[in-house]
A = this chain, B = another copy of it.
Amino acid sequence: MTDTMFANDVAARDAADPLAHFRERFHLRDGLIYLDGNSLGALPKATGERLARVVADEWGEGLITSWLGASWSTAPRRIGDKIARLLGANPGEIVASDSTSVNIFKALTAALSLRHERSVILSEATNFPTDVYMMQGIEAFSGGRVKAMTVAPDAVVDALSEDVAVLLLTQVHYKSGRVRDMAAITRRAHEVGALVVWDLSHSAGAIPVDLNGANADFAIGCGYKYLNGGPGAPAYLFAAARHHAATPVLSGWFGHARPFAFEEDYDPAAGIERFQCGTPPVLGLAALEVGVDLLLEADMAELRRKSLALGDLFIERMAPLCDAYGFTLASVAEHAARGSQVAYAHPQGYQIVQALKEFDVIADFRAPDILRFGLTPLYLGYGDVVEAVARLERVCATRAWDKPQYHERAAVT
């Protein structure tokens, strides 16, 4: 295929893309190619107006009466029900609140309360750090009762034993984008009597998820990646209806059966509400809801198709750069095991990601040597992918990354 034929082909794919119209629903500067929506999703244009209304009308005018009058108090459940539609869960099985880390704690301790005769929380060593850190905090506090155990990624299934109370796994790996088989691993865990907490931070809004189809126990995930909920958005927690008698340790008043009766003893709500803790973060929830609503307009199967096609195209265009400049694909190429991102290893990964910014491409870097390219089908086209790789090639061809200011690593996210 000639360059012209290829360019025409790419343009035709963008023109025929049934998701292309979502691009105009987001605020994205002209010229910028944003490949970091898996770290912080882009801003939906509707968010600013929604927040302005919450602030001016609901808070400013309604004041305290908005807890009922503007349905602030039921927002965690309402938004949870919407997220449930993305994740194959039922209404009343998901609640939005707190950070991902705090929800990991709730889900793990709830699972432990259902398996109190067992001691091990199992995970993989290369899981997203906060997942493992939260396990380590529980171990430290347990006074020897709970053991946080991590094994190599490929050893997880074999490490499932009757000592394991709960397995904590991320469905789509934050670095490589590798996808775990949720149904198979859950089945295997259940065979030895263990429960599973799935971290869906890189799944929700990126790949189809079927929590109840997989007979999942608990899940948690992040609101600020593919859900486009904004920086530090509230996270969410899924608990299968059969586990609603579990005891989350974080027994705050919003998890109480009657929070406004101001009773002296904790009596957890019967349903998913018991997985709330403190007063809901209304502003963050409002922004999250806009992102979730927007995603619900898209067909998830269509979104997955495009995500994989974008990934295939990215990998295809990167092949010459791998040969010429020493990139190594760090993602699985196979569709079933690939999330909505593509990762490459390169010794100068950090510097290259910095230099790419000068060419108006935002990707991200994960230590020690991974360049991560997030592919968000709602606001990224085929032409964007081609152009991003072209700019990356210019960075490499001109050694634009080899500048003193890129040699010192800042605390990047």
Interface residues of A (CB under 8 A from B): 27, 29, 34, 36, 39-40, 42-43, 47-48, 51-52, 55-56, 58-61, 63-68, 72-73, 98-102, 105, 109, 125-126, 129-130, 132-134, 136-138, 140-143, 145, 150, 222, 224, 230-235, 247-256, 258-266, 277-285, 287, 357, 362, 364, 366-367, 410-413
Contact = CB atoms under 8 A, between A and B. Distances in A.
A261 B367 contact: yes
Contacts of A100: 278-279
Given A34-B63, A411-B68, A129 B262 contact: yes
A61 B34 CA distance: 11
B253 A140 contact: no
B101 A277 contact: yes
Given A55-B230, A64-B413, A137-B249, 16 more contacts: A27-B56, A27-B60, A27-B61, A36-B64, A39-B64, A40-B63, A43-B55, A48-B56, A101-B277, A102-B102, A137-B248, A230-B282, A230-B283, A231-B283, A232-B285, A260-B411
A262 B129 CA distance: 6
Given A232-B283, A412-B260, A250 B134 contact: yes
A100 B281 CA distance: 11
Contacts of A52: 48, 51-52
Contacts of A39: 64
B413 A260 contact: yes
B73 A411 contact: yes
Given A231-B72, A249-B137, A413-B67, A283 B287 contact: yes
A108 to B, nearest CB: 11
From A42, A102, A129, A134, name the one whose CB has the most chain B CB atoms within 10 angstroms.
A129
26 contacts: A27-B56, A40-B59, A43-B55, A52-B52, A58-B231, A68-B413, A101-B277, A102-B102, A134-B251, A136-B265, A137-B248, A137-B249, A137-B250, A140-B249, A140-B251, A141-B247, A222-B279, A230-B282, A231-B279, A231-B283, A232-B282, A232-B283, A234-B281, A259-B411, A260-B413, A283-B284
A357 B63 CA distance: 12
Contact of A55 (B47, B137, B251): B47
A252 B249 CA distance: 16
Contact of A284 (B29, B142, B249, B284): B284
Contacts of A43: 55-56, 59-60, 63
Contacts of A68: 410-413
A376 to B, nearest CB: 12
A55 B59 contact: no
A249 B42 contact: no
